Structure 1
Amino acid sequence: MKKITATIITIGDELLIGQVIDTNSAWMAQELNHIGVTVSKRVAVGDEWEAIWTVLDSEMPKADIVLLTGGLGPTADDITKPLLCDYFGGKMVVNEAVLQHLHYLFEKVFSRPMIQRNARQAEVPDVCTVLHNANGTAPGMWFEKNGVILVSLPGVPFEMKGLMTNEVIPALQKRFELPVIHHRTLLTAGIGESYLAERIKEFESSLPPAIKLAYLPHYGMVRLRLSATGFDKDQITHEIDGEFNKLQAQLADVLVTNKDEPLEKVVADLLLAQQKTIGTAESCTGGHIAQLITAMPGASQYYKGSVVSYANEIKTNILHVAVSTLQNAGAVSEEIVIEMVKGALDVLKTDFVVATSGIMGPDGGTPEKPVGTVWVAVGNQKEIITQRFKFRFDRLRNIDLTAINALNLCRKFILDQSL
């Protein structure tokens, strides 16, 4: 069977200068992978007619599917639609279904008059199939040329995702006979990528040729992904699962989860299973741990709240950290995070609390406590454990690393308490 390949092209000057981070192509690539389409290239291009035309000429002969996002708005720099009209040899016409949708949005949803510039969103090339954008004003457009499908989608992520999910993915699945792409992923902690590779080198060398192993390090943790592609779903699943079980057995002591899920989901599942609650007392992380936890659906069942005690007076006035401890040990110390946990347990009335205090940089470090020094404590009414970390990166990465390591310490503490 022929492998079906796709190229994703994102359009916009804002992408090239870093003003906007391209999350569209990453999400689209994941969705295409799920249905068995192989993404062979991702390209970003500015709002320039010649640049877009050139990349289309380059990519159309190479791919079965070309997906574009961006440049479909009502302003002068949105040139994708007229360019595609010329590229596919069509003329602009008013699509009545799109026009009615625009009237509905402006009159019923936005509650403001629709000006002529907005009404022009209903103009589309007569050589495309219009895809209904239920979440916005710019319709999607499906073109075909020399057996290649080109789909143009709005750059607004919410609108693009709706069109991909409801229109594009189902249409591609009907058009192509697609293979199964099967992945199994696990997450490890406490071991570096190179040491991990050395530990499982015999396992990796013995993998069947059809199964690939990928290392995905991120913030001191490493995901391992086994992947295989084929048309016999049962056979692929059986082969992958067998190898995955071997891998889990070899890494049981460093295994965090055998699912492709974030650490905060692992912590959430532990709390839900034990019917326990958690709160956070954050200094250097500024509420970032709370944000990660509450990003999970259903967090209200196990998360009560946070005290972001960034200033020392908040530590003393709300968490009842002793002034003498601050004076003798300093704000970044084991003693402080222990008292923060005790104070937060009293204030938040939770089963568990995690506390952080550190120096994120770029300033504030000393020879004794350089930038990147962090203390984390996790505890309940019976026990409190602590760990010191020494990070060496910029401020934002130090914050991220602190949050992830704090959550992992939480995971281990909750597991230990359940034994």
Structure 2
Amino acid sequence: MLAEIITIGDEILIGQIVDTNSAWMAKQLNLIGMKVKQISSVSDDAAHIIEALQQAEKRADVILITGGLGPTKDDITKLTLARYFDMGFRRDEETLQHVTDIFARLNRPMIDLNRKQADVPDRCTVIKNQNGTAPCMWFKEHGKIYVSMPGVPFEMMYLMEEEIIPRLKKAFQLPAIFHKTILTANIGESFLATEIETIEDQLPPHIKLAYLPRLGQVRLRLSGTGTDEKLLHEEVESYAQQIITRISKYVVAEEDIALEKALLDQMKKRKLTLSTAESCTGGYIAHLITQHAGSSAVYMGGGVTYSNELKMSVLGVKAETLTQFGAVSEETVREMAAGAKKHFNTDYAVAVSGIAGPDGGTPEKPVGTVWIAVANRYRVVTRLCVFGNKRAQNIERSAIAALSMILNELRQDED
């Protein structure tokens, strides 16, 4: 069973907003065994919308549409759908009462434009939007199912979870689907593929392996489809365990989570604490860590010690170290990490100092040069990284490399 997602709105195409709806919807559909064939974004233009609908119904059984259901003239989705299906309009009394109640509750006057929210194509099934004034519309036309939803994310999400997904599950006999994700670090995609080649070659046709590389990490995702959910789960898990055993030294999580979340989980389990001392990353490592609920059980705090003065006064870096070796040096990050561990009284500390760019480099230390140190009660380890000349990428790469180093030291200590 195939689905297609169409998002409507000029604001998406000009980059004013990011289309997060489609990714979220695709994930929900995948969970119930419905594959998304294509995702399209089209402008607020009737001809473009109709063309997208015509193409979508050639490819998919279910077409989900978001956006363009507001009360203003630029919101033309409802009119265009009525034209496409050759329908007139009717006023849905339940929707009108719902809109009236919302305006009364807010103590705001209701005008004709608001009342027109209750006008819907006459052959559609109206699904009440509990969180807004624009109703959701379900069409069964041309042998397909079309669903038009508001583009406001929380309105769409509620409708998908409470109304659309249950109706789709009832309308179709969908296959069981199961995903297993393995998060790896400190190994490249091609080397990883070589390591597990023999296992991958043994996979049956209904189980696929995907490589999802990102800076400094690769996710392996096993996806299986079948009719027996329990058997499928056991089968995918069996192949996953073979892969995990083969590449155990690179595995940091056996679920689909972020690298820093894997780090937090491991440290929390072992009752360990962490602090940070950041220069070129400007607090980005701290941001990655603290975006996760419960991070305070592990992360005690840190310092963005951009200047040499703060490196000395906050972290205790020696003036002679900075004079002799410079801020971007192995010697400096060693003292930064040791100072953070001592000052913040943590089990582990990580320090980063580098030249993020685009300027500030020298022939000896070009842009992209980054030193990282991790300190624990046993030792301080360091690593030199040489990245490219793009500032944002250098900051992200530095953070991922730092997190990977901490994970590696955790593994060493465990062994």
Q: Same fold (TM over 0.5)?
A: yes
Residue of structure 2 equivalent to 1:334 = 330
Moved more, 124-133 or 158-167: 124-133
> What secondary structure, in the 3-state scheme, does the structure 2 residue paired with 1:331 have?
coil
Residue of structure 2 equivalent to 1:284 = 280
Letter in 2 for 1:153: M
**Which residue among 47, 52, 61 is the counterpart of 2:49?**
52
The 2-side partners of 1:251 and 1:266 are apart by 17
The 2-side partners of 1:327 and 1:193 are apart by 40
Residue 187 (structure 2) pairs with residue 186 (structure 1): no
Letter in 2 for 1:5: L
Instruction: Render the CA deviation track for 1:134-155: whole Å, top value 9, x for unaligned.
Output: 3444332221113311111222
Residue 77 (structure 2) pairs with residue 83 (structure 1): no
The 2-side partners of 1:139 and 1:313 are apart by 59
Give percent identity, aligned residues only: 50
The 2-side partners of 1:288 and 1:118 are apart by 45
The 2-side partners of 1:126 and 1:255 are apart by 55
Alpha-carbon distance change, 387 to 101 in structure 1, aligned in 2, over 3 angstroms: farther
The 2-side partners of 1:14 and 1:306 are apart by 39
Residues 85 and 127 of structure 1 are in contact (CA less than 8 Å); yes or no, is this contact kept in structure 2?
no
Residues 88 and 127 of structure 1 are in contact (CA less than 8 Å); yes or no, is this contact kept in structure 2?
no
Alpha-carbon distance change, 111 to 287 in structure 1, aligned in 2, over 3 angstroms: farther
> What secondary structure, in the 3-state scheme, does the structure 2 residue paired with 1:318 have?
helix
Alpha-carbon distance change, 35 to 326 in structure 1, aligned in 2, over 3 angstroms: same
The 2-side partners of 1:393 and 1:123 are apart by 55
Residues 186 and 404 of structure 2 are in contact (CA less than 8 Å); yes or no, is this contact kept in structure 1?
no
Alpha-carbon distance change, 167 to 202 in structure 1, aligned in 2, over 3 angstroms: same
Residues 37 and 59 of structure 2 are in contact (CA less than 8 Å); yes or no, is this contact kept in structure 1?
no
* TM-score between both structures, scaled by the size of structure 2: 0.92
**Which residue among 354, 357, 363 is the counterpart of 1:358?**
354
Residue 9 (structure 2) pairs with residue 21 (structure 1): no
Residue of structure 1 equivalent to 2:4 = 7
Letter in 1 for 2:33: G
Letter in 2 for 1:378: V
CA positional deviation for 1:218: 0.9
The 2-side partners of 1:302 and 1:136 are apart by 40
CA positional deviation for 1:344: 2.5
Residue 71 (structure 2) pairs with residue 74 (structure 1): yes
Alpha-carbon distance change, 104 to 36 in structure 1, aligned in 2, over 3 angstroms: same
Instruction: Render the CA deviation track for 1:345-393: whole Å, top value 9, x for unaligned.
Output: 3443333222211112222211111111111122235432221111125
Residues 281 and 308 of structure 1 are in contact (CA less than 8 Å); yes or no, is this contact kept in structure 2?
yes
CA positional deviation for 1:416: 2.9
Letter in 1 for 2:63: V
Residue 401 (structure 2) pairs with residue 405 (structure 1): yes
Residue 255 (structure 2) pairs with residue 220 (structure 1): no
Letter in 2 for 1:15: I
Calculate the aligned-residue CA RMSD, in Å.
Answer: 2.3
Q: Following superposition of structure 1 onto structure 2, how do residues 134-283 of structure 1 map, counting pairs within 5 Å?
A: 134-283=130-279
The 2-side partners of 1:321 and 1:219 are apart by 30
Letter in 2 for 1:255: V
**Which residue among 335, 339, 342 is the counterpart of 1:343?**
339
Instruction: Render the CA deviation track for 1:299-325: whole Å, top value 9, x for unaligned.
Output: 222222232223333323333333332
After the TM superposition, which segments of 4 or more aligned residues of structure 1 sit over 6 Å from their partners? none
CA positional deviation for 1:116: 4.9
CA positional deviation for 1:211: 1.8
Moved more, 174-183 or 394-403: 394-403
Moved more, 33-42 or 326-335: 326-335
Letter in 2 for 1:231: T
CA positional deviation for 1:115: 5.3
> What secondary structure, in the 3-state scheme, does the structure 1 residue paired with 2:408 have?
helix
Letter in 2 for 1:125: P
CA positional deviation for 1:6: 0.3
Gaps of 5+ in 2: none
The 1-side partners of 2:374 and 2:132 are apart by 45
Residues 211 and 226 of structure 1 are in contact (CA less than 8 Å); yes or no, is this contact kept in structure 2?
yes
> What secondary structure, in the 3-state scheme, does the structure 2 residue paired with 1:253 have?
helix
Gaps of 5+ in 1: none
The 2-side partners of 1:166 and 1:326 are apart by 60
